[in-house]
Amino acid sequence: MKQKQMMDALPGTVGEGLAQRGVDRREFLKFCTAMTAMLALPPSMAGVMAEAIAKARRQSVIWLSFQECTGCTESITRSHSPTLETLIFDLISLDYHHTLQAASGAAAEHAREQAMKDNDGKYLLIVDGSIPMGNAGYSCIAGISNYDMLVETAKGAVAIVAVGTCATYGGIPKADPNPTGAVSVSDIVKDKPIINVPGCPPIPVVMTGVLAHFLTFGNIPELDALGRPKSFYGETIHDRCYRRPFYDQGKFAETFDDEAARKGWCLFKLGCKGPVTYNACATTKWNEGTSFPIESGHGCIGCSEPNFWDAGPLYKALSMPVSATGSMLGAAAAAGAAAGVAVTWYNRSTKAQAKATHAKVTVQELTREEK
């Protein structure tokens, strides 16, 4: 493929390659500055990042796609527009990606095997899609079951990035009644570092940001209890939502076309899952920072949380203590504190518990500390 051919023609280090392609240092530093901000690093780290990346050799990456809708790949290709995000994709050697590569059949599989052999113990494995355990025939590539391909390819990987909610938690394929017996990458691979990058699909710059971190520091970023990088998943959508002031004032849209909706009031009562969803949509936004679902008038559906599809109706409000206390200020503070506890509780729940969260949770339950 054209991209691959271009990268193959590049010299050894990333810095040499960027120079050959006419990317000047100022532009590259701007990119690194944006990435350090994204990764919640001090601004002074931009220079360190630029130096580290420039000296690095292009990281070999093998990307496997299993049971999914290809939305994750669609999403990451949005970083291919002529933006600075494109650079980060140029920093890797994408040795196998069966949707994007030109090779097919035996030639494609040969590319994967060759990359595994040449970079044994060093390549980064990216996986999107869940793995069907019910019957190997549900999803195969080149006659190889998803399970076998994952186990075989994971062996020589230095780390694994599970991209999308399907690979991280089972995703939509795992939705009740889970007809294929879908499981996540971490359900199968137990002996490798795994970075979970959920979202259906994930934000492009979050995917490239994880790669930038790996290239810069040679290790995986700090993760939360669900294996997600804290720099991108450390806060809820609600924490950073521009409609939050309306929530705090108790101003809510009751329907999608009422006066309150036109004024941009909070979508909580229309089922927004922002208070229980950890992701960076409200800060990085989508389409080069243009907007995100809440900004376009629809509540968050919580796609980066486990079992979001079975966690109750998308348009039913969460049972949160919006106005549980007397004063408006007190209500806001209580809601904020309760939301934090609720998120932890929600994230660790099983599917049945998640259902119950939406149906039965009380103020007392939300404010109860976890044991």
Q: Which stretch binds ligand FSX (CB under 6 A): 32-40, 117-125, 160-168, 304-312?
A: 160-168
Cβ proximity to ligand FSX: between 71 and 227 the closer is 71
The answer to whether 68 and 141 are in contact (CB under 8 A) is no
306 binds ligand FSX (CB under 6 A): no
If one asks whether residue 85 binds ligand FSX (CB under 6 A), the answer comes out as no
Q: Does 294 interact with ligand FSX (rule: CB under 6 A)?
A: no
Amino acid identity at 248? D
Closer of 165 and 216 to ligand FSX (Cβ): 165
Q: Segment 189-228, which members bind ligand FSX (CB under 6 A)?
A: 200-201
172 lies in the site for ligand FSX, by CB under 6 A: yes
Q: Least CB distance from residue 182 to ligand FSX, whole Å?
A: 10
Shortest spacing between CB 309 and ligand FSX, in angstroms: 10
The Cβ-side half-sphere exposure at 72, using a 13 Å CA radius, reads 34
166 binds ligand FSX (CB under 6 A): yes
Pairing state of beta strands 123-128 and 157-163? parallel
Stretch that binds ligand FSX, among 161-169, 282-290, 311-319, 325-333 (CB under 6 A): 161-169
Q: Which of residues 115-154 bind ligand FSX (CB under 6 A)?
A: 128-129
Task: For residue 307, state whether it binds ligand FSX (rule: CB under 6 A).
Answer: no
CA gap 332, 322 in Å, rounded: 7
Candidates 105-113, 159-167, 290-298, 337-345; binding stretch for ligand FSX (CB under 6 A): 159-167
Cα of 33 vs its chain's centroid, Å? 21
Rounded least distance, CB 168 to ligand FSX, Å: 8
Q: Any residues with CB less than 8 A from the CB of 334 and at least 6 apart, and which?
A: 321, 324, 325, 367
Please, what is the minimum distance in Å from the beta carbon of residue 199 to ligand FSX? 7
The residue number whose beta carbon is nearest to ligand FSX equals 71
Residue 241 binding ligand FSX, by CB under 6 A: no
CB of 70 to ligand FSX, least distance (A): 5
Q: How far is the CB of 130 from ligand FSX (least distance, A)?
A: 7
Q: Please identify, among the stretches 163-171, 228-236, 309-317, 321-329, the one whose residues bind ligand FSX according to the rule CB under 6 A.
A: 163-171
Shortest distance, position 132 Cβ to ligand FSX, whole Å? 13
Sign of CA dihedral 224, 52, 206, 95: negative
Strands 182-183 and 131-132, bridge-based pairing: antiparallel
Q: Which of 29, 37, 69, 341 binds ligand FSX (CB under 6 A)?
A: 69
Position 170 contacts ligand FSX (CB under 6 A) = no
Q: Which of 15, 164, 221, 321 binds ligand FSX (CB under 6 A)?
A: 164
The residues binding ligand FSX (CB under 6 A) are 68-72, 128-129, 164-166, 171-172, 200-201
